[in-house]
Amino acid sequence: MAAKIDWNNLGFDYIKTNANIRCRFDGKKWSQLAITDDEYIHMHIATMGLHYGIMAFEGLKAFRGVDGKVRLFRAADNARRFQSSAYKLCLEPMPTDVFVEACVRLVKENIDFVPPYESGASLYVRPLMYGSQIAIGVHRCPEVDIIFFASPVGPYFKGGMHLIKVVIDRMQDRAAPRGTGDIKAGGNYASSLLSGEKAHEMGYDNVMYLDAAQHRFIEECGAANFFGIKNGTYVTPASPSILPSVTNDSLRTLAHDMGLNVEQRPVTVEELKTFEEAGACGTAAVISPIGSIYDIDTQEYIDYGKKIGPVSLALYNALRDIQYGRAEDKHNWCIIVE
């Protein structure tokens, strides 16, 4: 089946693979990992996760390297974030070793769906959990169902990296200061969808979300973290409602390795114009360099130029080199699956 895939023209769509993995917490203990080729879940109509949004997910990738080996990137970090999501949703957290084992098993079962090195594509791994108790009342959900599935995905930027256009629009907040912004809950996506769609209709790639209390500070750039570069410093916003991106953490580490200063602190809207380079970061693209930011309300327009900044490019290459086995994995980020 995998043999039929046109590796050079993959997008970010679901493609059926050999297998997905299921695991269940029944209120007392975890089940064994179950491997299946069934793409459906048979769900009771009163499943709590469905009614009350008690669900969260993860996203990570496996890459076929220059040496032919398949590397899974920072799975233990995704496991820990999955646990913090579970904690905030009052769900049983899955132990790190079980999460990592499930991801490795999944990649092995679907090894012929890991795209060839030359394609620049990868195998996206999507773990998701939801409260699966049958109930109508709102309360802690003792039963959890977890699914791990995979899909081969193309490089985020087809035909090479390019600059994106970002809009600041205060019509919708992504997350409240003490809400669920710091976990990967599906509801955060649902609550920012409308402004994202509006931005796309207006010809922008992403919305910059501001803090919901004052609308003064930068939070997220679409479903990605924001960073700016100035005076040899990598600056990324700190806030209790930002999702801690594994990519951002990796870039901070690599920036430090390159001799840049690293600052994680509140970043105001006014500070945006002082950056030499700006970007959005996440598993999907690693870095989406930002070409311009337009503020709908103040009509201020910030232009970062027509070319990808040298620091953003160096960081991008350094991370990609580790993922594709072209550079030494100094920080032990990759698990060699096969």
Ligand X SMILES: *Cc1c(COP(=O)(O)O)cnc(C)c1O
Q: Does 282 bind ligand X (CB under 6 A)?
A: yes
For ligand X, the closer of residues 61 and 64 by Cβ is 61
Q: Does 59 bind ligand X (CB under 6 A)?
A: yes
For ligand X, the closer of residues 19 and 179 by Cβ is 179
Q: Which of 132, 133, 239, 245 forms a contact with ligand X (CB under 6 A)?
A: 245
Q: Does 225 bind ligand X (CB under 6 A)?
A: yes
For ligand X, the closer of residues 19 and 79 by Cβ is 79
For ligand X, the closer of residues 19 and 125 by Cβ is 125
CA distances from 273 to 187, 228, 306 (A): 31, 10, 15
Q: Does 247 bind ligand X (CB under 6 A)?
A: yes
Q: Does 243 bind ligand X (CB under 6 A)?
A: yes
| Cβ 308 to ligand X shortest distance, Å | 19
Stretch that binds ligand X, among 46-54, 104-112, 216-224, 303-311 (CB under 6 A): 216-224
For ligand X, the closer of residues 58 and 295 by Cβ is 58
Stretch that binds ligand X, among 140-148, 221-229, 305-313, 326-334 (CB under 6 A): 221-229
Q: Does 191 bind ligand X (CB under 6 A)?
A: no
Residue 313, helix vs strand vs coil: helix
Q: Where are the beta strands (DSSP E) in the chain?
A: 20-25, 34-36, 55-57, 60-64, 70-73, 122-131, 144-153, 164-168, 206-210, 218-221, 224-230, 233-236, 261-264, 277-282, 286-295, 301-303, 334-336
Note the residue count of the chain. 338
Q: Does 180 bind ligand X (CB under 6 A)?
A: no
- Half-sphere exposure (CA, 13 Å, Cβ side) for 219? 29
Number of residues that bind ligand X (CB under 6 A): 13
Residue of 98, 115, 233, 220 lying closest to 168 (CA atoms):
220
Cα 280 off chain centre by? 11
DSSP sequence for 71-124: EEESHHHHHHHHHHHHHHTT-PPPPHHHHHHHHHHHHHHTGGGS--GGGT-EEE
CA distances from 222 to 91, 100, 142, 277, 281 (A): 27, 27, 32, 18, 10
| Cβ 197 to ligand X shortest distance, Å | 16
Question: 115-134: which residues touch ligand X (CB under 6 A)?
Answer: none
| Cβ 113 to ligand X shortest distance, Å | 20
| Cβ 164 to ligand X shortest distance, Å | 15
For ligand X, the closer of residues 93 and 282 by Cβ is 282
Stretch that binds ligand X, among 36-44, 147-155, 223-231, 289-297 (CB under 6 A): 223-231
Region of 164 (left: φ > 0; alpha: ψ -120 to 50; beta: rest) is beta
Round to whole Å and give the CA distance between 134 and 142.
10
Q: Does 290 bind ligand X (CB under 6 A)?
A: no
Residues that bind ligand X (CB under 6 A): 59, 184, 220, 223-225, 243, 245-248, 282-283
